[in-house]
A and B are shown apart, each in its own frame.
Chain A
Amino acid sequence: MPPRTIIEKLWDAHVVHEQSGAPTLLYIDLHLVHEVTSPQAFQGLRDRGLKVRRPDLTIATADHSTPTTDPALPIVDEIAAKQVAQLLTNCRDFGIQCYGRGSQRQGIVHVIGPELGLTQPGMTVVCGDSHTATHGALGALAFGIGTSEVEHVLATQCLLQRKSRTFQVQVDGALRPGVTAKDIILALIAQIGIGGGTASIFEYRGSAIRALSMEQRMTVCNMSIEGGARAGMVAPDDTTFEYIAGRPFAPQGAAWDAAVARWKQLPSDEGAAYDRTVTIDANQLEPMITYGTNPGMGMPITASLPEPALVADPLHRDSIAKALRYMDLEGGKPLLGHPVNVVFIGSCTNSRISDLRSAASLLKGRKVNPGVRVMVVPGSQQVKRQAEAEGLPEIFRAAGCDWREPGCSMCIAMNGDQLQPGEYSVSTSNRNFEGRQGKGGRTFLASPLTAAAAALTGVVTDVRTLL
C-alpha cells in the first residue's frame, strides 16, 4: 500500500459501502447532539417511524440557547426554554444519554466530548455544528453536518460522504512569550483566507504543534472551519494518550493497551503526499487580532488596518471597505489603543481550564478597567469545578469580572449574553461576523491573554507590554 496520511487512514477504516455513482457510505463512531440543530431531525425520525440506530454512540448536551445563569432557575426566554425541553423529550423518547442543564457533565459540546474521554483517536465524530473539527485535536476525523445529516446519522449511524482534499499545515519553531495556539490559527486563516481550505481537511504538523498541550491543539483545530476546511487533525502522540488516560469513557486495563497500540498506527506514513501544503514559522508569530467581519480579516496586533483603496480586486476591496464601515474603523490606522467595551473569555475555542488559567495569570492582583464589562464563561461544569478548586473565580471576581455558568454564551448570543449595538468586544471565540455577538455588535477575535490585556487597559493592547 502506498504511504497514507492520517486522513486517508481514518477514511479507509470507516468505509461501509461503495457504489459507483454514489458517495461513500461512511460509518460514524460518535454522534454529539445539541438543542439547536437536532429538533427537526428527531421530528423527521418520528414522521418516518424510525428509531435511533445506535443510541449508545450518541450523546447530547444543552449549550447554545442555554442561559449561563444559575441552572436551578427556569429559562426566562420561552422559545429557548421550549427548545431545551424538546431536547430532553427527544433524548428520553429515543433512549439517548443527555447531559443537559443541571447535569454535572453539561457543557459546550466540543468541550465535553474530549473531557469525558468520548472523543478518541481514530474515531469518526460528527455533530450538527461546524466546530466539530475541535475533536480532530485527538486524532479523530471530526466534522460538522447539517440537520438532514443529523437525521441520517441518528437513523443509520452512517453518512454519504465524498473524500476531501488533504491539506498539510506545517508549523515549526517555538512560540515567543505572549503568543499562543490561538495566534497560530488566526495567522493561518489570515494567510489562506476563510475560503482557503474549502473542500479540504487540515492536518496540523510540525514541532510547534507537537509542543502544544492537548487543549491548545483543540484551540487550533476548532477554527479549521474558519479557514473553510471540513475538519482539522493532529496525529495522536504521548500528549494525546496522557490526556485521555483515566477519563470516564476512556478504555481501561487491557483494552487501554490495545487501544494505544492501535492509535500508534494512525500518524501519517513517511512520504505520504498531500494535495496542498502551507508553512508557518512559529518563531515569527506575534499576538494576532481580527479587525473585520470574518475570521480571515486578521493581523498581528501591532499592524495597521488595511486600506481598501490599495486592494486591486473590486469585490475584495468592497469586502474590506464594508467590514471597516461596519466596525467603524479607518483604514491605515493602528488598532492598538482602540477602546473596548466588553471582553468575552469563553466558547469552544478558549474556555478550557488552561485558557482560564492563562487569563487569570494576567488578571491576578490587578483590576479591570472600569469602562469594560468582562465575562468569563467556563466551557463545562467540569471546567468550572476545576477552576473553583484552583481559586480562579476569586481571581476573576476580585479583578472585576463576571464569572458565569457554562455554555456558548456570547459566542453566539442566543441566550441573552450579548453586545449592544455599536459596542466593541475583544472575544476569545471564533467568529466575528456582523451581529454574531449581538445585533450591531463589533468583535475583535484574539487569545485569552490578549483579551485579558484589553480587560485591564480598556483598549486593544499588546499583551507583551504587560508580561
Chain B
Amino acid sequence: MTFRSRLVPLPINNIDTDQIIPARFLKTISKQGLDRQLFYDWRYDAQGQPKPDFILNQPRAQGAHVLLAGDNFGCGSSREHAPWALTQFGFRAVISTSFADIFKQNSLKNALLPIVVPPEVHGALLQLEPDAAITVDLATQSVTLPDGRQVEFPIDPFSKHCLLEGVDELGYILKNESAIAAYEAHRVGSVNTLA
C-alpha cells in the first residue's frame, strides 16, 4: 500500500464525527453514497451550494488522498459513516497528532490510515506548498516529505497485516470458533441472563 498525494489541510483541533458527517445523514441503511455528505455543513451553504472558501471545494482537494487534520481527530460519536464518507471522497489517510479511539478502529477496518506524527512534523506538513506531494507507504510505515525526509508512524501490527495481506477480521475471528465454544462452555456466571 503505497501512494503519493497532495495534502488537504484542515488544521482544526477536535474535529468530531458530527462535523465529518452530520447525524441527519445517518438515516440511511446503506454504506454507499456518503461522499457528498462529507463535512456537509462546512462544505455547503444553506442553499446546498459549495462554499468556495472551504478546502474540500478547492482544486487542491480534487484527487487528493490525504487529509491533514488537527489534534484528536474523529472524536465524539462512534458512527462508522465517518470513515465511509472520507474514503468515498477519495481519502486513503488522515494525518494528525492524535485520533479518537473509536474513529481510529473504524478507519483501520476501512483501509483509511490514521497516521499519527509528532507536532513538529505536523507543523512542517502544514507549511508545504499547495502542490507539494508526500508519499505514504504502509509496509515501511513511513511518510516521505518532498525534501526526501522520511518520518515513521506507528500502526497496530495486526491491522497492518490485515491491510497488507487482505485478511478479513471477521473471517479471522470465525476461525477461532472452537476457542469461543470452549469459553462459552466453561464460563462461570451469567452468560445466559437473557435466555
Q: Which residues of A contact B (CB under 8 A)?
A: 16-17, 21-23, 25, 27, 29-30, 36-37, 39-40, 43-44, 48, 53, 56-59, 64-65, 77, 79-80, 82-83, 86, 97, 118, 120, 122-123, 128-130, 144-149, 151-152, 155-158, 160, 162, 164, 194-195, 198-199, 225, 228, 230, 249, 251, 255, 259, 262, 294, 296, 315-316, 318-319, 322, 412-414, 421, 431, 433-436, 439
Contacts and interface: CB of A to CB of B under 8 A. Distances in A.
Contact of B187 (A27, A53, A128): A27
B38 to A, nearest CB: 14
Given A122-B189, A194-B14, A413 B76 contact: no
Contacts of A439: 22, 41
Interface of B: 11-14, 16, 18-19, 22-24, 26-31, 41, 46, 70-72, 75-80, 98, 100-102, 105-106, 109-110, 156-158, 161, 169-170, 172-174, 176-177, 179-180, 183-184, 187-195
Given A195-B71, A228-B101, A40 B23 contact: no
Nearest to B119: A315
A146 B106 contact: yes
Given A27-B180, A251-B190, A315 B70 contact: yes
Given A83-B29, A228-B101, A296-B14, 17 more contacts: A17-B183, A25-B179, A27-B184, A30-B193, A36-B79, A37-B79, A39-B29, A40-B29, A56-B194, A59-B194, A122-B189, A144-B102, A148-B169, A249-B194, A322-B12, A421-B46, A436-B18
Contact of A128 (B46, B78, B110): B78
A40 B192 contact: no
A48 B168 CA distance: 12
A434 B76 CA distance: 12
B189 A118 contact: no
Label chain B's interface by main secondary structure: loop
A146 B190 contact: no
A324 to B, nearest CB: 14
Given A16-B179, A147-B80, A162-B156, A29 B26 contact: no
Contacts of A128: 78
Given A83-B27, A146-B102, A434-B41, A228 B173 contact: no
Contact of A195 (B41, B46, B100, B173): B100
Which one of B27, B170, B187 has the greatest number of beta carbons of chain A within 10 Å?
A: B27
